[in-house]
């Protein structure tokens, strides 16, 4: 049911989470559950937000939770956002740590895999 | 002495009948006893002594009369005889047994008289004793024959009852139950058992017994050497009077007679047919009954037993015919019901499912249907237990290969009959049935199963064809409907909805289409082709293409319909299709429309109520009877107008007039005026037809131009927020708002609405959130209002990421909390 918004792949040890479309109050919880089911136990996670056309505070809360969880387990995580776009805007407005943000998926995955 | 030397009769001359009184006393033909009142014998005659073997001296003065009686008679003497004698002075014909000196008994009849003295005191008793040995025997015989008569009468009664039961017994089993009850009451048999002939399997089947511990209970072939089978073959009553006799002729019977302690056995064939012609009788079963003692049966009893055999045989014959008739009736009724039940399901899977559910438990304990459809095939099963899968696979393969049924055999370890499902000589699958051994095998059953398989095959093949056609039609329809309608144009927005009929019917011929004729001219169409299924879908595709080809900048709606009329001359299936067609000039806002037998357009302009456009009406496409003068009408629309095109499934409802349908549609369309366009058509379908509708619904809603002011009311449902965003996005894009500003306003508006839903309407799922937005030369202003009561931790307005985002993304934000909460937000246009 969340397939519409979220899909997964692997790059080396890193779990890649691809998000797509609008993420808001209506679907953030379901998407969160789908992601956590996959990232619990992952050694590194890259969340690709380049195809996200809208991200609201519920989405931010979700990302914050996932990042916090990985930080606690001392596993690296990156959020890939485009140079422009809704996701970058929202995350910047929320002052997400700049070390979390990346603009290139491949490079982010490579970094974590090292 | 006489002189002649003959007997001297002079002195003692007597006539032969002139008895000497003394001699008469001594040798009288009965015994005499004289006793004292206490019973002591004082005188006894010779006759009595001869009968009893006592010496005179044994008795006189030594014994009382009662001492000579049996213990039972002694009691009788004390309680009845003596008191009676004392009271009446005499007794007559009292039956007493006198015990002889050798302890044997003499049955006697006794008369006695009590002699009293002059003063009335008892003096002596004179007793006369008759030997009643012969009389007693006679009496016993009399009693015996009376008993015999009674038992014969009882036998007749029992048999009459059984014959009555037999006549009323409709089934073999009930006949067997009636017959088996006969021997015990009628002949005092110890137990009885019944075996019935199963002609299909050529066996004798042990059906029932009043004492199953006797005898051998295995079914046996009719050719068996066992006594029961032998008697069934001969068709004659056999009485095996002793174990020795059994030993000689039927060793198996002798064995079970010894084991169950039976001395005599009767084996009675249950026959039908003329009794006189020997050999013409048919044996339908054998009744066996036995006795614990050696029993001699009288001729009368044997006659009655034979009669019982014939009566029971006839009853069995009748029951078998009746059973057979009923079975036939049951089967044909089952086939009819099954065919009907299968017809009720159109889909293949459901039909296969229903087949196995019909067959179990009526015919089989377990059933499995396999169909060779699709890459994986289709398998449905029901009941249990399932047979060994490998053995079953082998049998299925055999049935498919030979294209013939493989019937279950005894002891094949599978118990399964596999029937190929054949249509037009092609095996499309198999039906495997597992039945308990007593439910299968008969020749008639085989014909029935083949009949069942044929019907099932046809029904499943029809469903498969239906399924195939349905899939093609649906694919075709989907591909035609899914073709992208134009979007990403700020001058208009489109929303479409297609909903297939709830009842799982074939696809309908409803369609919608929208396309740009020129850069500034948009065409929208909704139509409905007559009929359903693949033909309708194909025709709809053709019409759709024809409309796209005929729609030119010059033609206009009326000429387009004329073109479609010509098209119908060549494509017969398009005849009588209905179409509503409209062209919108995106520069001037002019709408040109025409309807061919279709429901009118529904227009809602920003001001005023919605209205049906009733002009420009003409007959369905290719109509021969209708008015085919194609006309069109033009009307100028203001920005923000909404136009609805729809098919009859939306408003037609059983039990509701069409007028009423129009009324409701207009009312609901108006009510949703402020709802976001996205989801509007689906919402209308939900309200008007619900989920349970019998017809397809097809809708297209066009929202025209850019509203100066965006006004929306949405329900307190997070899903609504994305719809609102879609409207706002289009609206702002239409006003040329730059992406940064647009995204920021969308984010802030979303957060404000989310806050209203999460906090304002925490306890009110029916709350509404009002959103209004205006665009000026330098800024976008959005106002979000709710009427809820803000409560909970989120009520702290200064906190929360959502509020933070609102503040961050907008330039001015103000909250007003009175009756609910209103957030007013403003963002300057252009990059920050």
Domains B148-325 and B346-471 share a fold: yes
Task: Please give the residue that has the higher pLDDT: either B707 or B749.
Answer: B749
Candidates B676, B714, B721: best to mutate against A (most CBs of A within 10 A) is B721
| Mean pLDDT, rounded, of chain B | 85
B131 CA to centre of own chain = 80
Average pLDDT over residues A12-18: 89
CB contact under 8 A, A89 and B747: yes
Q: Which of A26, A61, A89 comes nearest B743 by C-beta? A: A89
Q: Chain A contact for B804, CB < 8 A?
A: yes
Please give the pLDDT value at position B10.
Answer: 55
For domain B483-705, give its CATH number from 3.40.50.300, 3.30.200.20, 3.20.20.70, 3.60.40.10: 3.60.40.10
Q: Which residues of B touch A54 (CB under 8 A)?
A: 722, 725, 743, 746-747, 750
Candidates B676, B715, B716, B718: best to mutate against A (most CBs of A within 10 A) is B718
**Structure-token match 């002591």, residue found:** B40
Q: For chain B, what percent of residues have pLDDT higher than 70?
A: 93
Chains A and B form CB pairs within 8 A to the count of 62
CB contact under 8 A, B751 and A54: no
Instruction: Determine the Cα–Cα distance for residues B467 and B444; give it in Å rounded to an integer.
Output: 34
What is the pairing mode between strands B203-209 and B820-828?
A: unpaired
Q: Which residues of A touch B746 (CB under 8 A)?
A: 54, 86
The closest of B578, B577, B589 to B522, measured between CA atoms, is B589
The residues, ordered by sequence, that sit 6+ positions from B478 with a Cβ below 8 Å of its Cβ are none
CB contact under 8 A, A90 and B805: yes
Please give the pLDDT value at position B502.
Answer: 64
Domains in chain A, number: 1
Q: Which residues of B touch A84 (CB under 8 A)?
A: 739
Candidates A26, A59, A63, A82: best to mutate against B (most CBs of B within 10 A) is A26
Q: Is the pLDDT score of B184 beyond 80?
A: yes
Angle at A8 between CA A5 and CA A9, to 5 degrees: 150
Rounded to 10 degrees, the C-alpha dihedral B76/B81/B82/B87 comes to 140
Nearest CA in chain B to A55: B747
CB contact under 8 A, A25 and B805: no
Please give the pLDDT value at position B276.
Answer: 57
Please give the pLDDT value at position B530.
Answer: 85
Burial environment of residue B811 by CB neighbours within 10 A (0 to 12, 13 to 18, 19 or more) = middle
Q: Chain B contact for A57, CB < 8 A?
A: yes
Q: Which residues of A touch B752 (CB under 8 A)?
A: none
Please give the pLDDT value at position B606.
Answer: 79
Architecture of domain B711-828: 2-Layer Sandwich (3.30)
Lay out the sheet containing B378-383: strands in order across.
B378-383, B366-371, B426-434, B416-423
Q: Chain A contact for B800, CB < 8 A?
A: yes
Q: Which of B722, B743, B744 comes nearest A24 by C-beta? A: B722
Task: Please give the residue that has the higher pLDDT: either B567 or B139.
Answer: B567
Contact predicate B513/B544, CB 8 Å: yes
CATH code: domain B346-471 is 3.30.450.40
Please give the pLDDT value at position B2.
Answer: 44
Q: Chain B contact for A93, CB < 8 A?
A: yes
CB contact under 8 A, A26 and B722: yes
Q: Which of A25, A55, A89 comes nearest B754 by C-beta? A: A25
Q: Which of A24, A60, A84 comes nearest B801 by C-beta? A: A60
Contact predicate B130/B82, CB 8 Å: no
Q: For chain A, what percent of residues have pLDDT higher than 70?
A: 97
Residues B584-593 pLDDT 10s: 998 888 999 9
DSSP assignment letter at B795: G
CB contact under 8 A, B722 and A90: no
Task: Please give the residue that has the higher pLDDT: either B125 or B695.
Answer: B125
CB contact under 8 A, A24 and B754: yes
Chain A closest CA to B411's CA: distance in Å?
52
> What single string gives the DSSP state of each residue in B412-451?
SS--EEEEEEEETTEEEEEEEEE--GGGS--HHHHHHHHH
Cis previous bond, B66, omega within 30: no
With cut-offs at 50, 70 and 90, classify the pLDDT of residue B532. confident
Give the range of the structural domain holding residue A59, as residue numbers without chain letter: 6-113
Contact predicate B586/B706, CB 8 Å: no
The residues, ordered by sequence, that sit 6+ positions from B602 with a Cβ below 8 Å of its Cβ are B610, B611, B612, B613, B643, B644, B646, B665, B666, B669
Residues B681-715 pLDDT 10s: 888 888 888 766 778 889 999 988 767 788 888 88
Contact predicate B723/B714, CB 8 Å: yes
Burial environment of residue B181 by CB neighbours within 10 A (0 to 12, 13 to 18, 19 or more) = middle
What is the pairing mode between strands B366-371 and B426-434?
A: antiparallel
Contact predicate B396/B418, CB 8 Å: yes
The closest of B370, B416, B379 to B395, measured between CA atoms, is B416
Please give the pLDDT value at position B5.
Answer: 53
Instruction: Determine the Cα–Cα distance for residues B280 and B421; give it in Å rounded to an integer.
Output: 44
For domain B21-131, give its CATH number from 3.10.290.10, 3.40.50.720, 3.90.1150.10, 3.30.450.20: 3.30.450.20
Residues B582-625 pLDDT 10s: 999 988 889 999 999 999 999 998 778 899 999 999 999 988 88
Joined tokens for residue A5: 């918004």
Burial environment of residue A83 by CB neighbours within 10 A (0 to 12, 13 to 18, 19 or more) = exposed
Task: Tell me whether residue A1 is in a domain.
Answer: no
With cut-offs at 50, 70 and 90, classify the pLDDT of residue B1. very low
Average pLDDT over residues A9-25: 90
CB contact under 8 A, A26 and B800: no
Q: Chain B contact for A74, CB < 8 A?
A: no
Superfamily designation of domain B148-325 = GAF domain (3.30.450.40)
Joined tokens for residue B5: 């030397």
DSSP assignment letter at B64: B
Alpha-carbon separation of residue B80 from B66, B94, B130, B381, B549 (angstroms): 12, 10, 19, 87, 134
For residue B548, the surrounding DSSP H or E stretch is helix B533-550
Contact predicate B95/B108, CB 8 Å: yes
Q: Chain B contact for A36, CB < 8 A?
A: no
Residues A79-113 pLDDT 10s: 999 888 888 889 888 888 888 888 888 888 888 76
CATH of the domain at A105: 3.30.750.24
Alpha-carbon separation of residue B544 from B479, B513, B579, B644 (angstroms): 12, 7, 10, 19
Residues B369-405 pLDDT 10s: 999 887 778 889 998 888 888 888 888 998 888 888 8
CB contact under 8 A, A84 and B739: yes
Enter the ipTM.
0.85
Task: Tell me whether residue A26 is in a domain.
Answer: yes
Q: Which of A25, A89, A93 comes nearest B721 by C-beta? A: A25
Please give the pLDDT value at position B13.
Answer: 65
Chain A closest CA to B742's CA: distance in Å?
10
Strand residues in B705-749 grouped as ranges (E): 709-715
What is the pairing mode between strands A77-80 and A44-55?
A: parallel
Q: Which residues of B touch A90 (CB under 8 A)?
A: 747, 805
Average pLDDT over residues B205-213: 84
Chain B closest CA to A97's CA: distance in Å?
15
Q: Which residues of A touch B722 (CB under 8 A)?
A: 22, 24, 26, 54
Nearest CA in chain A to B753: A25
Q: Chain A contact for B435, CB < 8 A?
A: no
Instruction: Determine the Cα–Cα distance for residues B223 and B220; give it in Å rounded to an integer.
Output: 8
With cut-offs at 50, 70 and 90, classify the pLDDT of residue B798. very low
Lay out the sheet containing B264-272: strands in order across.
B220-221, B203-209, B191-198, B282-291, B264-272, B238-240
Residues B256-294 pLDDT 10s: 888 888 999 999 999 887 655 555 678 899 999 999 998
Please give the pLDDT value at position B286.
Answer: 92
Residues B759-791 pLDDT 10s: 878 777 788 899 999 988 889 999 999 888 765
Residues B23-46 pLDDT 10s: 888 888 899 999 998 889 999 999
Nearest CA in chain B to A94: B805
């Amino acid at each position: 049911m969340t397939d519409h918004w979220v899909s997964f792949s692997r790059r080396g040890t890193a779990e890649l989470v691809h998000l797509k479309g609008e993420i808001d109050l209506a679907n953030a919880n379901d998407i969160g559950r789908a992601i956590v089911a996959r990232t619990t136990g992952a050694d590194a996670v890259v969340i690709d937000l380049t195809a996200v056309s809208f991200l609201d505070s519920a989405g931010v809360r979700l990302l914050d939770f996932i990042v916090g969880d990985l930080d606690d387990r001392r596993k690296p995580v990156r959020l890939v956002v485009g140079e422009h776009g809704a996701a970058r805007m929202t995350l910047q407005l929320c002052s997400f740590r700049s070390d979390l943000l990346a603009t290139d998926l491949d490079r982010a995955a490579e970094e974590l895999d090292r | 002495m006489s002189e002649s030397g003959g007997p001297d009769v002079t002195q003692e001359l007597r006539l032969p009948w002139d008895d000497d009184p003394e001699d008469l006393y001594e040798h009288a033909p009965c015994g005499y006893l004289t006793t004292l009142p206490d019973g002591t014998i004082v005188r006894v005659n010779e006759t009595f002594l001869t009968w009893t073997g006592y010496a005179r001296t044994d008795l006189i003065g030594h014994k009382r009369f009662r001492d000579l009686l049996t213990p039972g008679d002694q009691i009788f003497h004390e309680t009845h005889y003596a008191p009676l004698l004392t009271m009446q002075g005499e007794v007559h014909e009292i039956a007493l047994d006198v015990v002889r000196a050798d302890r044997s008994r003499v049955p006697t009849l006794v008369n006695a008289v009590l002699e009293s003295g002059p003063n009335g005191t008892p003096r002596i008793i004179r007793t006369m004793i008759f030997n009643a040995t012969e009389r007693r025997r006679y009496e016993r015989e009399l009693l015996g024959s009376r008993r015999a008569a009674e038992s014969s009468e009882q036998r007749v009664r029992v048999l009459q009852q059984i014959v009555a039961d037999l006549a009323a017994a409709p089934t073999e089993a009930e006949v067997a139950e009636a017959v088996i009850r006969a021997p015990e009451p009628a002949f005092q048999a110890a137990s009885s058992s019944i075996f019935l002939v199963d002609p299909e399997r050529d066996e004798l089947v042990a059906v029932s017994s009043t004492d199953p511990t006797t005898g051998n209970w295995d079914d046996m072939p009719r050719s068996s050497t066992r006594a029961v089978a032998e008697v069934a073959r001969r068709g004659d009553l056999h009485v095996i009077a002793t174990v020795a006799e059994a030993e000689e002729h039927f060793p198996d019977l002798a064995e079970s007679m010894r084991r169950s302690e039976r001395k005599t056995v009767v084996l009675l064939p249950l026959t039908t047919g003329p009794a006189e012609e020997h050999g013409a009788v048919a044996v339908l079963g054998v009744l066996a009954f036995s006795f614990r003692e050696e029993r001699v049966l009288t001729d009368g009893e044997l006659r009655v037993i034979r009669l019982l055999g014939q009566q029971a045989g006839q009853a069995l014959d009748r029951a078998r015919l009746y059973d057979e008739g009923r079975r036939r009736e049951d089967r044909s009724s089952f086939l009819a019901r099954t065919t009907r039940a299968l017809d009720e399901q159109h889909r293949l899977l459901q039909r296969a499912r229903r087949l196995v559910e019909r067959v179990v438990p009526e015919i089989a304990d377990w059933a499995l249907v396999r169909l060779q459809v699709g890459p994986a095939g289709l398998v449905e099963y029901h009941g249990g237990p399932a047979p060994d899968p490998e053995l079953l696979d082998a049998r299925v393969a055999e049935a498919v290969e030979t294209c013939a049924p493989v019937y279950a055999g005894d002891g094949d370890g599978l118990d399964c009959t596999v029937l190929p499902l054949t249509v037009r000589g092609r095996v499309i699958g198999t039906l495997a049935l597992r039945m308990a051994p007593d439910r299968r095998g008969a020749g008639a059953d085989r014909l029935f199963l083949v009949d069942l398989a044929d019907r099932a095959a046809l029904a499943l093949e029809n469903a498969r064809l239906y399924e195939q056609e349905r899939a093609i039609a649906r694919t075709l329809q989907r591909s035609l409907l899914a073709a992208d309608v134009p979007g990403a144009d700020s001058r208009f927005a489109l929303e479409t909805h297609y909903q297939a009929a709830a009842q799982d019917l074939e696809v309908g011929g409803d369609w919608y289409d929208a396309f740009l004729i020129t850069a500034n001219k948009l065409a929208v169409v909704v139509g409905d082709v007559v009929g359903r299924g693949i033909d309708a879908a194909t025709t709809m595709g053709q019409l759709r293409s024809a409309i796209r080809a005929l729609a030119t900048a010059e033609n206009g709606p009326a000429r387009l319909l004329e073109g479609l009329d010509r098209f119908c001359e060549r494509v017969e299936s398009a005849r009588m299709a209905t179409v509503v067609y409209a062209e919108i000039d995106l520069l001037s806002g002019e709408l040109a429309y025409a309807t061919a037998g279709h429901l009118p357009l529904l227009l809602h302009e920003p001001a005023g109520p919605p209205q049906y456009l009733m002009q420009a009406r003409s007959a369905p496409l290719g109509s021969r009877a209708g008015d085919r003068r194609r006309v069109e009408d033009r009307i100028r629309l203001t920005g923000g107008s909404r136009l609805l095109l729809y098919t009859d499934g939306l408003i037609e409802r059983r039990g509701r007039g069409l007028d009423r349908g129009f009324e409701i549609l207009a009312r609901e369309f108006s009510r949703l005026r402020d709802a976001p366009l996205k989801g509007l058509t689906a919402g209308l379908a939900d309200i008007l037809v619900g989920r349970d509708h019998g017809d397809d619904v097809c809708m297209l809603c066009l929202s025209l131009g850019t509203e100066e002011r965006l006004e929306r009311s949405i329900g307190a449902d997070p899903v609504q927020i994305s719809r609102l965003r879609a409207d706002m996005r289009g609206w702002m894009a239409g006003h040329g708002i730059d992406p940064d500003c647009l995204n920021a306003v969308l984010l802030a508006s979303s957060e404000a609405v989310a806050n209203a839903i999460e906090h304002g309407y925490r306890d009110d799922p029916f709350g509404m959130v009002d959103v209004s937005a205006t665009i000026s030369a330098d800024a976008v202003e959005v106002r979000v209002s709710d009427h809820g009561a803000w409560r909970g931790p989120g009520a702290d307005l200064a906190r929360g990421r959502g509020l933070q985002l609102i503040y961050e993304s907008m330039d001015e934000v103000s909250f007003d909390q009175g009756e609910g909460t209103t957030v007013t937000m403003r963002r300057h246009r252009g990059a920050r």
